[in-house]
A and B are shown apart, each in its own frame.
Chain A
Amino acid sequence: MSAKPKTLILTGYGINCDWETEFAFNQAGARAERVHINDLIAGERKLSDYQVLAIPGGFSYGDDLGSGKVLANKIRANLRDEVLGFVSGDRLVIGICNGFQVLVKSGLLPQPTPELNQTVTLTFNLSGKYEDRWVWLAGKSDKCVFTTGIERIYLPVAHGEGRFFAEEKELSSLKKNDQIAFQYVDSRGKPARGNFPENPNGSVLDLAGICDPTGRIFGMMPHPERFLYSTSHPNWEREKELLSRQGKKLKEEGDGFQIFKNAIKYFK
């Protein structure tokens, strides 16, 4: 494997976190490039040339007809074979926020099926409102490639439809197969138990991110690409001031990087 995994950052139709996601992957050691979905459909770029597929956050199709639904529809209608071929190999897929919604609605999560049918969902926040706020997450899966080594992390969510919901049998299969990658917790790491604002959207099981049974396909609602520098943290300058009084310096890197680095490490 090459030292720098080729990473495709999907763009188009209202995806809008593509620049910072590209930046995150490149800084972490990937060779990332933004590719418009129509260039994949037209065959001008080939998914099979890449090792990582990232579907960034955004508002594909304005969330009309349900978040992620129409972009998922486009993938299912135009790229089904390419995507199924991609995930059957030793490759990684990450969907962040709207990208997670796309992975769920195109049936790539919790487990890809040949028909790419949707089996779980991300729906409207319990508050009925869009929420931009920072939340604590706990890493819970031993198999998820992207969350390896992350016990607890503070990241921002920004979404109106982030409430994970599924039937009981889907939930127990997620638990059984170690597919629960991230859960919302409080600042001390205790389960959020559905309480706002620790669980910002009312997700069942406080679910913030899941992976497929191989651990290689991963989706999460919070935005790790928004915490690439320590200065993105809401209280960084407090942290910096208090550290400086102990003669210490604030590190420059943000915790969100870990998730992208894990992807790179996988190919090493």
Chain B
Amino acid sequence: MATRIQVFTKPGLPDYLGERVRKRIARDLAIELASVRIGEIYTLDRDFPAEDLEKLRRELFTDPVTQESNLSEPAPVFLKSQKFDWIVEIGFLPGVTDNPGRTAREAIEDLLRVKFQKSESVYTSRQYLLRGRLSRPEVGQVTSALFNPLIERAQIMSRKEFEQAGGLSLPLPRVKLPPEPPVLSVDLNLPDEELSRLGKQGIVETVRNGREIRRGPLALDLDYLHAIRDYFNREGRKPTDLELESIAQTWSEHCKHTIFAACLDGVDGLFKTYIRRSTEEIRKKRGRKDFCVSIFTDNAGVIRFNRDFNLVYKVETHNTPSALDPYGGAITGIVGVNRDPLGTGKGSRLVVNTYGFCFGNPAGKWEPLFRDREKENPVLHPRTVFEGVRRGVEDGGNKSGIPTGFGFVRFDPRYRGKPLVFVGTLGLMPARIRGKPSEKKGARSGDLIVVAGGRVGKDGIHGATFSSEELHAGSPVTAVQIGDPITQKKLGDAQLEARERELYTSVTDNGAGGISCSVGEMARECGGCLVELEKVPLKYPGLAPYEIWISESQERMTYAVPPEKADEFLGLLESRGAEAAVIGKFTDSGRCIVSYRGKKLMDVDLDFLHDGLPRKTLRSKWNPPRQPELKLSEPADYGEVLQAMLSWPNLAGKEFVVRQFDHEVQGGSVIKPLVGVEEDIHSDAVVYRPLLDSREGVAITGSLFPGYGDIDPYWMAADAIDQVIRNLVAAGADPGKIALLDNFCWCSSDEPERLGQLKRACEACYDFATRYQAPFISGKDSMFNDFKGFDAQGGPIKISVPPTLLISGIGIVPDLRRCVTLAAKSAGDLVYVLGLTRKELGGGQYYAARGEKEKGGAYVGASVPQVRPEETLKLYPRVADIIKEGLVASAAPVGEGGLGISLAKKAMAGCLGMEIDLSRVPKGPGTERDDYLLFSESTGRFAVTVDPKKSAKFEKRMKGLPMAKIGVVTNEPVLKARGVKGKEIIRIKIEELKEAYKKTFKDW
């Protein structure tokens, strides 16, 4: 019989978590509650003697100082001491990962020395006690803000109902599955129309009342299905459902990047032609100075850090899951990308996480959107998405002990249907392990296949194919998962021990496609595999074999373990609290063979599995958008404009995000995400010391400019690369040791116009990676970020994200004691601008902010910033040198929002004033207006401050480069600027600037 243990804060004590919820509800819903108190409910679905239950309640579940609790069975009664007007209980739906529930079970097993049987479990739920005069619909609104119906269920009762019913109780989320479905063989010799349906809607599971029930999209195009049909016709049999699902996973856009591999307008693959070629050319040109180690072949890119260590970096996206369940999607994303460096080479230690979020506008008017015509499945408000994603990355990083270092948040209404959630992880790996290169791995025939970490459930089935399809009402909610950082932490720690003892020959992570992809990939290293699916540890019985094979249940790694080391490996993992099982062996048969309870369900040629997919042939079209150049009036009050810009969501301070991410764990933080005397101004790059006994550092940054893409994706890509290089150089990185990553988040990639934009961006990637000699070392693409749904009137609506390219960069800092921040240091220091300011405001933040204010949407304009390598290639190495020589007291790249924002941040960070003369700014033609000078986003610029004693030397070193002294740092904390006509146009106290910078997200 199940027993509930209900734990509340003692009535006399404040409940601060409840209070935070109360404030959020007041802010987001304008519903004022008198109080919110939260109860944690643990339902033990197992019999215990009464004295054991009491011991658990007292010693394990209750904090004796702050909490009170009771036991109830079977009907939960309420703690009489707690007062409320309404009660809401929220619990998980069956099969959703319940991390505290799992911990509770382990803790009970420890304390009582008992073992839970498979059918026994602990479930957690939460009660919210609401006080206040609320109507039932208002309580409904509050409840909607507290739970996500895709993964949770809620029950609401008034005090009276509660008393009449004698308590409240959610059904236990026990997973109950029908008997496992039979294995099907699928006939592919069908008319094309039927085949197409099979690809789009999936295999017919059964026919009920004349209606076909299908399993969900395979996302296989007709030409793919033809290839599969021909293969099995040659084999002389029909494929099983498992074979078809397996091939669909392996050939998915997500896994094979079919668009980047396609022949486009006769170009032999965008990836090969632009991205990979640029890296190959750079490596060749560098020769012995090449610092790339393992590129584009493994789960993450590997570069040399120093003689003894390599850096391993990967950035991923988790957009679709984050749209459905922001918390679950984001935590699964960050914990998932952790596994890439963990599964690269022999596996690395994880040293920094990065993030980038693109959301719809968090404030202002919100027009509801729905996934279905019936309007039952609403799109989450951008604020809810933001908070959920932020919390997911918080828990994913903090609980894993990885500092969440660099990141940014960007807003554009076009992200409201589908947010973009970028997550990255940097790893550190010894260059050699026991004398062997760590980046090399290889399963050998005869090695055992070991899967370790989490167990397998129905989670994420059709996940890989899912993100390749547009998001619509039929999207399976099995795609929603919740990551479990502790399970992965235990496994990751154990893996490091196993690595040092050489207990495995190869490792890879389980991501999209689950073991079908991980085992299938590793099988290529030796030429075959033989898997016995019944040996895979399951969360609950009833999974079909194909589900076990393609399930994307999280926190799993796959290892190739020599048979003689298996006992030691399994013993080590067990002693570290990590579960593992041998599920088969690697072979050299040339085939991927999968059986279940003695019956062979898959027997496919490995070459066909990986290389049998026909290449797509695509056509693109590039229509240069003809955006009219804007003619905006000159603002009357520049102080006001500067403040408005600092409050503009894309430029405003988001300290609350950074503070909730542990960015200092591991003890190596050098340049932090928040800098300045009061530690409250965002930096453009961060620097970490990954090895505590070395003075070498790694600088990390990232950049994206979707607004520029509205004018020309070529410059969008070029500018992002330039910004990344500049951010890293300003932080103290060696410009000769910078590596780049690309993450393309595109939309409607089946439309020639979108592909035309894509090609433009790729061309710029090639052009500027090679010009800057900064190789791409890894990347990822997500090609269909389109929302197709319905508006409040039930009318169909499609919202595509703007084509978005995130460029991430890491740079090696030879001596981190030379790093500088953007903060001005001392009154009397001279302010210099390096690089030319041109009239390049198109697609930038000034136009966007003014457009929003004047017409309720961004102005675009035509003058997109361009990159001029003939100027920047001279300037950047010199800037790196003068930083190294200690000639500048502060350095900042001038980026979005232009010089105005850059100078304001410099002053705010230093808590010092500035006197600026804009007429002195080195400028190109057309910049006769002060707003152009202040807010143009021309690339290639830095703002630095210099000790007057060093200014002569500084100027000498900068000779021949576009550079000018434009002002001085002052003790009086006021920013003053004179305009081109010599008139004072700005005079604002630094504290007022700071207030503007902070007010947008003040109460978050």
The chain A residues found within 8 Å of chain B, CB to CB, are: 11-17, 19-20, 23-24, 36, 38-39, 42, 57-59, 61-66, 69-70, 73-74, 76-78, 105, 117-121, 123-134, 156, 158, 163, 165-167, 202, 223, 225-229, 231-232, 234-235, 237-238, 240-242, 244-245, 250
Contact = CB atoms under 8 A, between A and B. Distances in A.
Interface centre among A118, A128, A227, A240 (most CB of B within 10 A): A128
B693 A23 contact: yes
Given A62-B103, A118-B65, A245-B947, A131 B664 contact: no
Nearest to B488: A14
Given A12-B493, A234-B679, A241-B826, A130 B662 contact: yes
21 contacts: A13-B490, A16-B400, A57-B665, A59-B398, A59-B486, A62-B99, A62-B395, A73-B107, A119-B64, A120-B65, A124-B17, A128-B16, A130-B398, A130-B659, A158-B398, A226-B669, A231-B819, A238-B677, A238-B821, A242-B826, A245-B947
Nearest to A228: B667
B552 interface: no
A22 to B, nearest CB: 10
Interface string B504-545: 000000000000000000000000000000000000000000
B111 A73 contact: yes
A69 B99 contact: no
Given A65-B100, A228-B692, A241 B889 contact: yes
B16 A127 contact: yes
A227 to B, nearest CB: 8
Closest 6 CB pairs of A and B: A16-B401, A128-B20, A20-B667, A64-B103, A64-B100, A121-B65
Given A59-B485, A70-B103, A128-B19, 18 more contacts: A17-B665, A59-B398, A59-B486, A62-B103, A65-B104, A78-B110, A118-B64, A124-B16, A128-B17, A128-B20, A130-B660, A132-B660, A158-B398, A231-B670, A235-B676, A235-B679, A238-B821, A238-B825
B61 interface: yes
Contacts of B399: 14, 59, 62-63
Contact of A19 (B104, B660, B662, B666): B666
A80 to B, nearest CB: 12
Nearest to A225: B667
A6 to B, nearest CB: 21
Contacts of A223: 664, 667
Interface string B937-955: 0000000000101000000
B603 interface: no
A254 to B, nearest CB: 9
Contact of B65 (A167, A225, A231): A167
A75 B618 CA distance: 62
Contacts of A129: 20, 656, 659-660
Contacts of B674: 234
A93 to B, nearest CB: 21
B380 to A, nearest CB: 21
B280 interface: no
Interface in B371-389: none
Contact of B577 (A13, A126, A156, A226): A13
Interface residues of B, number: 72
A61 B103 contact: yes
B737 interface: no
B856 to A, nearest CB: 33
Contacts of A12: 490, 493, 576-577
A232 B697 CA distance: 12
Interface string B97-116: 00110011011001101000
Nearest to B825: A241
Interface centre among B493, B576, B667, B820 (most CB of A within 10 A): B667
B63 A66 contact: yes
B59 interface: yes
A40 to B, nearest CB: 11
A36 B576 contact: yes
B675 A234 contact: yes
B664 A242 contact: no
Contacts of B662: 130, 132, 158
Nearest to A200: B659
A51 B398 CA distance: 30
A173 B216 CA distance: 65
Interface string B50-74: 0000000001110111100000000
Contact of A59 (B17, B21, B401): B401
B401 A17 contact: yes
B886 interface: yes
Contacts of A123: 63, 65-66
A235 B677 contact: yes
Nearest to A121: B65
A64 B99 contact: yes
Nearest to B107: A70
Given A12-B490, A14-B399, A131-B660, A23 B100 contact: no
A17 B889 CA distance: 33
Interface string B132-164: 000000000000000000000000000000000
A61 B111 CA distance: 15
A163 B15 CA distance: 12
A244 B886 contact: yes
